[in-house]
Amino acid sequence: MCRSIRPLRGRAAPPATTGDVSDAARQYVRKIAATRAPAARDAAAFDAAITEIAAATSRLLAALGAPPVAGPPTPPDQWPARPPRRARPSTPIPVEPDA
């Protein structure tokens, strides 16, 4: 999944807002559609997909015990810090013996 999508639920996270849910849905639709903004003829389908995904996300968060609260998106400076990324183990490069 896209690494730039932040989790909307977590131990130290502030509760997700309806703005956060809508922004996440928009980012997901942009990723799937491979476009930042749809053509005029596709705008209705793009907006409908965002609405449906936001509704499904809200239902999921509510079922997990963390329903979104009404409000604008959470400013990035209030997002919880991301855990440090784990280093990938290095793979030794095979060396062929001299013949």
96 within some domain: no
Q: How many domains does the chain have?
A: 1
The tens digit of pLDDT for each residue in 70-99 reads: 999 988 888 777 767 777 777 777 778 776
| Domain that residue 53 falls in | 20-63
> Domain for residue 43, yes or no?
yes
Give the model's confidence band at 40: pLDDT under 50 very low, under 70 low, under 90 confident, else very high. very high
| Residue 87, both tokens | 């280093």
Radius of gyration of the chain (CA): 19
Q: Does residue 86 sit within a domain?
A: no
Residue 41: CB atoms within 10 Å: 7
Residue 29's CB is within 10 A of a number of other CB atoms, namely 21
Q: Could you give phi then psi for residue 39, rounded to 5 degrees?
A: -65, 155
Alpha helices in the chain (DSSP H): 18-33, 43-63
Asked if the structure places residue 11 within a domain, the reply is no
